[in-house]
Structure 1
């Protein structure tokens, strides 16, 4: 054996990374996230502080305007026991007269019966805007937004 010479072919080094396994892992993670995302709770559980403080008392009791489902309005003055039922034009003139008497200190609260459409509340607020009343609040039941 007279010196056999083996010529090995040198392999070229691959400088590329095989990304197929990484793509498989990413697809599995994507499926896991797609399945678990709808199950997550999107709210934050916060315990709000409570207070025994009473509401700030003001000198003027508010005038209450009530929107009825049939389009009529009620006007309850602080000294009245029952609201007076009025139409829109009469309500506007009465509120304008009260505003002229009390000035900018006039506070009006708009209430609506439960069956009254929201449009009737907006109409009542429009009547108050035409009477140039600036301090208008919406009336709700206490604890209506408790969660």
Structure 2
């Protein structure tokens, strides 16, 4: 015989399931009726001045430097590090957003490329890239 003072340990979950099903039906009915919010973005005009053609610093097999200005044509001019610095300073004075790309022969030591990048960093050139050739 069981004693009458014993507590009941069972939880009746049927009412909770009923409430959850009612909430599910409410969300299923109201979700398609809601309009998604649209964001009106500000309009800007396109820049009338195109980006200047990049300067290409070429590091050859013998670690000599050449400079190619794609805006003036595809002629390479041999330059020393000092000449490169003076040319870059003058170009930065004219166009502060002038991009510079470095193209090095694949047999050139990595240290030479880093040295050229260091020179560009000292001249506060922000847009520096490495030029590669696709296989």
Q: TM-score, normalised on structure 1?
A: 0.54
Match of 1:124 in 2: 116
In 2: Cα distance, 1:89 partner to 1:121 partner: 16
TM-superposed CA distance for 1:113, in Å, is 1.0
Matches within 5 A, 1:90-129: 90-103=83-96, 105-129=97-121
Where does residue 70 of structure 1 map in the other structure? 62
Counterpart-to-counterpart distance in 2, 1:66 and 1:106 = 16
Show structure 1 runs of 5+ residues with no match. 1-57
**Pairwise CA RMSD of aligned residues?**
1.4
Partner in structure 1 of residue 73 of structure 2 = 80
Q: What SS class does the counterpart of residue 90 from structure 1 fall into? A: helix
Instruction: Give structure 2 stretches of 5+ with no counterpart.
Output: 1-49
Shift of 1:65: 0.6
| Inter-partner Cα distance in structure 2 for 1:125 and 1:83 | 19
Q: Tell me the secondary structure at the aligned position of residue 66 of structure 1.
A: strand
CA contact (8 A) 1:96 1:132 kept: no
TM-score normalised by structure 2 residue count: 0.58
Higher-Rg member (1/2): 1
